Structure 1
C-alpha cells in the first residue's frame, strides 16, 4: 500500500515537471513562430496591447532589473503573443526575462534585433504625457479611449491611426500641449486632415505627431531641437479643410499619432493608446 502510494506521488511529481517543461516549450515555440522579418509590421505588434497592471508596473520592474522599457516589452510581447492582458510583472523575474531573451536571440537574432529596435523607438524616449495637469482648475481634465482603427470618413473611409485626447473644457487654445520626448521638429504647419500639426522625430527614430492644434507655442523652424516637456502648442479643433485656419468641425482635442520606420515602410503607424495610458502617471503640472 505504501509502495503504491509512493509510486503514485512520484508519478504526480514527474507529471508536474513534464507539464511545466511542456508549457515552457510551447511558449518558446509560440514566441519563435511569431518572430519573422516583418513582425514589426504585424497587427499584433502595431496594437501595442499592454494592460493596466503592466503599464503601472513598467518603470518599477525596469528600474529594479536594469533593463529598458523597449527591451522588456520585446521579450514580454513575444512570450505572450503581443497581448499582455492579465500579465503581472510581479510574477516575472530577471532570470525568466534573460532566459527568454537568450532563447530568442539564439534562434533568430536579426528578426529579434529589428523588433527590439522598433520597441525601443516607441518606448525608450517617452518622458511626459502630452497634456499637463492643471493646478488651478479641477475641471480642466482630459480623457481618451482606445479608438485605434475606428472608421473615419473625412477624405474617404479609413481607419483612425491614433488616439484622441479629448478636452473636458471644450475651448480651443486653453490646454497646453508638450512634447512627450526629446527630438527634432521634422514637420510643422497645416494639413487638410490634421489642421495645425507638429511632427517630432525622437532620438530612437519614432515620429510623434500632434494634430488639431489651435496654435503653436512659438515659431519652430524645421530642424528645431525640442526637449521632453517643452511647450509646443495649444489644444484646438483645427483641420478637416483645405482652408488653413479652419476650426469647429469637431470638438477640441489632441490627436496623437506614433509612427516608426520598418524594412518595408517609411511610416508605419502604431496604436498610441497604451503608450498614453502608461504616460498618464507622468504628467507635468501647469497653472491654466
Structure 2
C-alpha cells in the first residue's frame, strides 16, 4: 500500500494544478518487440464465458486479500488447460478447488504444470486481461458528502458505454460484412442512442483517431504493455470525440473518449452510412508488432467480456458544453507509472 500512497500523492498534486491526464503527450505505447515467427502466438480463440470471468475475478480479489498470488488470467489458464479449452465443462466448484490448493501452499504455475497447454493459455489470457485488475484510487463522497480519495484493488476496466445509457448486443462476432469487400465482423456491436458517452475500457495511449470509410469516426487505443488494441467505431456525426483528445493522448479507464453514432460505410467524411446507431467495439491482440496490420491480425470475440464488464460502468455528468465527463476523480496507478516512465525517458 505504501507504493499506492506515494503515487496517489503525485496525482493529487497534478489535480491541484488542474492537469488533465489525457492531455499529456508522452512517447507512444511500448511496442511488442519483433520476434522469430516461431516464438509468438498466432491465434487466440477467447471463448471464456462471463460466469467464469466473474468467478475468476472474485477469486483473484479474494486471494489478493488473503495474501495469495492468483491473477485472474492465470486462474482461467489453469481451468482452460484442464478443460482442453472446452469451456462447456466449466463448473464453479473447479475454481473453488483451485483456491483450496492455493491455500494449501501450491502455486498456480505448479498446478498448471500438470497440463501441457497451460503456458499457452497463461500467455493468451494474460494478453486479453492483464491490464484489467489491479490498484487504483478513486475520490468518492464520504459521509459529509465531500470526496475522499480511496485506494482500492479490483476491476479497473469499464464497460464501453457509460452508466445510465442503455444498450443491447448479441454475439455477432464473425458475421458477414460486405461494404467494400466481403469479410467477417471482428467486434461486438452495442446498439444504443446517438450521443451516448463512450468510455475507455482500459487505460492506454490513443494510437489512431480520425475517419475511416468502414468504421467512420473511430478511435484506437493501445494498452500500456502493447498487447491490446481497443477499437471504437461509428462515432457521432459532427462531434465524435471528447474535446482535447488526439493521437498520443493518454487516457484512463472510464474516461469519456467519444459519443455513439452511426458514421461510416462511406468514402465521404462525416457521413451516417450505418442504418442503426451503435458502437462497434473490438479488441486486437498483438504478440509481435508484425501482427498489427495484415493477415496476421488477431481479433477476439469480446461479447462475453462486455457482459462481464457491465458490472463496472463509469458514472458521468453532462457539462455546460453538452459534453460528458466522469463524475469521480480517478487514478489508475499503471497510468501514473507510464507517465512517470515516459517523462523520465524523454
TM-score for both structures, normalised by structure 1: 0.74
Question: Hey, what's the Cα distance between the residues in 1 that align with 2:306 and 2:108?
Answer: 27
Aligned with residue 58 of structure 2, among 57, 60, 66: 60
The secondary structure found in structure 1 opposite 2:235 is strand
- Do the aligned residues in 2 keep the contact of 1:71 with 1:119 (CA within 8 Å)? yes
Q: Distance in 2 between matches of 1:285 and 1:83?
A: 36
Q: Distance in 2 between matches of 1:262 and 1:163?
A: 22
Q: Which has the higher Rg, Structure 1 or Structure 2?
A: 1
Give the helix-richer structure, 1 or 2: 1
Q: 2:47 aligns with which of 46, 49, 74?
A: 49
SS in structure 1 of the partner of residue 208 of structure 2 = strand
Counterpart of 1:11? none
Q: Aligned-residue CA RMSD in angstroms?
A: 2.6
Aligned partner (choices 257, 260, 281) of residue 235 of structure 1 = 260
Aligned residue in 2 for 1:147: 172
Give 2:123's match in structure 1, choosing from 117, 120, 131: 117
- SS of the residue 1:200 aligns to: strand
- Give me the whole-angstrom Cα distance separating, in 1, the residues matched to 2:210 and 2:273: 18
Measured in 2, the distance between the counterparts of 1:68 and 1:104 equals: 13
Residue among 92, 102, 109 paired with 2:110: 102
Q: Post-superposition shift, 1:188?
A: 0.6
**Conservation of the 8 A alpha-carbon contact between 2:56 and 2:76:** no
Contiguous gaps of at least 5 residues in structure 2: 1-37, 65-69, 133-156, 319-346
For the residues of structure 2 that align with 1:81 and 1:90, how far apart are their CA atoms? Answer: 17
Structure-2 change in CA distance of 1:39 and 1:150 (3 Å):
farther
CA contact (8 A) 1:165 1:253 kept: yes
Residue 284 of structure 2 corresponds to which residue in structure 1? 259
Deviation at 1:113, TM superposition (A): 4.7
TM-score (norm 2): 0.62
Note the C-alpha offset of 1:38: 7.9
Alignment correspondent of 2:234: 212
Q: Distance in 2 between matches of 1:107 and 1:85?
A: 18
TM-superposition CA deviations, 1:202-236 (whole Å, max 9, x none): 12321111111110012323211110111100000
Q: 1:119 to 1:142 in 2, by over 3 A?
A: same
| Deviation of the 1:270 alpha carbon | 1.0
How do 1:171-210 and structure 2 match up within 5 A? 172=194, 174-204=195-225, 205-210=227-232
Separation in 1, partners of 2:62, 2:210: 42
Distance in 2 (CA, whole Å) between partners of 1:242 and 1:128 is: 32
